[in-house]
Amino acid sequence: DIEVKTLPCRVEKLEHLAHDVVRIYLKLPSSERLQFLAGQYIDVLIKDHEPRAFSIANAPHDDKYVELHIRFVEGGLFTDQVFHGMQEKAMLRVRGPLGTFFLREDTDRPAILIGGGTGFAPIKGILEHAFETGIDIPLHLYWGVRAKRDLYLDELPRSWLEQYPNFSYTAVLSEPMDGDNWSGATGFVTDAVITDYPDLSGHDVYMSGPPIMVESGHKLFMQHGLDESRFFSDAFEYAAMAESIKGMQQD
């Protein structure tokens, strides 16, 4: 069993990846390692407030830093700090790893991995782990966002297409902007999956993103033959969700 630890860490680097997404790299004390499974999450502990849950975006073999993808949420206490006040070298306290969202490796079933927005983060970790360990089942990533600018690391899965013959990638825009010149898939990411895979009875599905998307996807995929026990999702309510609800309560 992997031990859940509470650890101090330092913000090593902040990178703006999109208009509303920041990637932060956290450095743990040199005497500590965070053991985790690809796809799990950590809580960022905030004095006098509820912890904020963020998925770990790196794979366990690449653990020099803990990588998080943080989307700006209007009125969100922590995200506001990340976007408007946080400096490199800032200290945070985290607790983890947490969650049951990780790759099941005891199967040869093809896997469909669906990320909505920054729900791409844990899927990135899972895929990097699969590539590193030589897992050769078919892996199909669907990344659902509003507009092209929200595909904040689009070049990464595109580079995987060149390197890994068992990998496929479909980006899906729900509200393409006029200048996007988008000829790819549009609409709901879950519908795009069903268009490609009308019968899911032989597949595993991993899904991460806003709870409402995960819920509707779960329902839809069951109707298309997915075995209930082969649907894996982020069980925790996304930090963004919790923060936006808090924001509403404060208004």
User: Per the domain annotation, does 124 fall within a domain?
Assistant: yes
At 48 the pLDDT is 80
What type of residue is 24? I
Q: List the CATH number of the domain containing 90.
A: 2.40.30.10
Same domain, 43 and 154: no
Same domain, 45 and 122: no
Same domain, 120 and 189: yes
Dig out the tokens for 159 from the structure.
Answer: 């580079």
User: Per the domain annotation, does 9 fall within a domain?
Assistant: yes
For the chain, the domain total comes to 2
Q: Is the dihedral of CA 99, 94, 37, 118 positive or negative?
A: positive
Same domain, 29 and 122: no
- The Cα–Cα gap between 6 and 44 comes to 10
Same domain, 115 and 218: yes
Same domain, 173 and 202: yes
Instruction: Return the closest-CA partner of residue 96 out of 63, 73, 118.
Output: 63
Q: List the CATH number of the domain containing 228.
A: 3.40.50.80
- The Cα–Cα gap between 165 and 88 comes to 38
- In sequence order, what E strands does the chain have? 5-18, 21-27, 41-45, 52-55, 66-71, 91-98, 111-116, 139-145, 167-173, 185-186, 204-208, 231-233
Dig out the tokens for 165 from the structure.
Answer: 């013959």
Dig out the tokens for 114 from the structure.
Answer: 């669906």
- The Cα–Cα gap between 76 and 217 comes to 26
Decide: 57 and 67 in contact? Cβ < 8 Å.
Answer: yes
Decide: 74 and 243 in contact? Cβ < 8 Å.
Answer: no
At 241 the pLDDT is 46
Domain boundary among 98, 119, 142: 98
Three-class DSSP category at 218: helix
What type of residue is 132? E
Give pLDDT tens digits along the chain (251 positions).
789 999 999 999 999 999 999 999 999 998 888 999 999 999 999 888 888 899 999 999 998 999 999 998 887 778 888 888 888 888 999 999 999 999 999 899 999 999 999 999 999 999 999 999 999 999 999 999 999 999 999 999 999 999 999 999 999 999 999 999 999 999 999 999 999 999 999 999 999 998 889 999 999 999 999 999 999 997 554 444 444 444 444 43
Same domain, 54 and 120: no
Decide: 54 and 94 in contact? Cβ < 8 Å.
Answer: no
Same domain, 115 and 226: yes
What type of residue is 40? Q
Work out the end-to-end distance of the chain between its first and last CA atoms, rounded to an integer number of angstroms.
Answer: 43
- The Cα–Cα gap between 113 and 51 comes to 27
At 242 the pLDDT is 47
What type of residue is 249? Q
> In which region does residue 175 sit, left (phi positive, over 0), alpha (psi from -120 to 50) or beta (all else)?
beta
User: Per the domain annotation, does 34 fall within a domain?
Assistant: yes
Same domain, 196 and 89: no
Query: What range does the domain containing 41 cover?
Result: 5-98
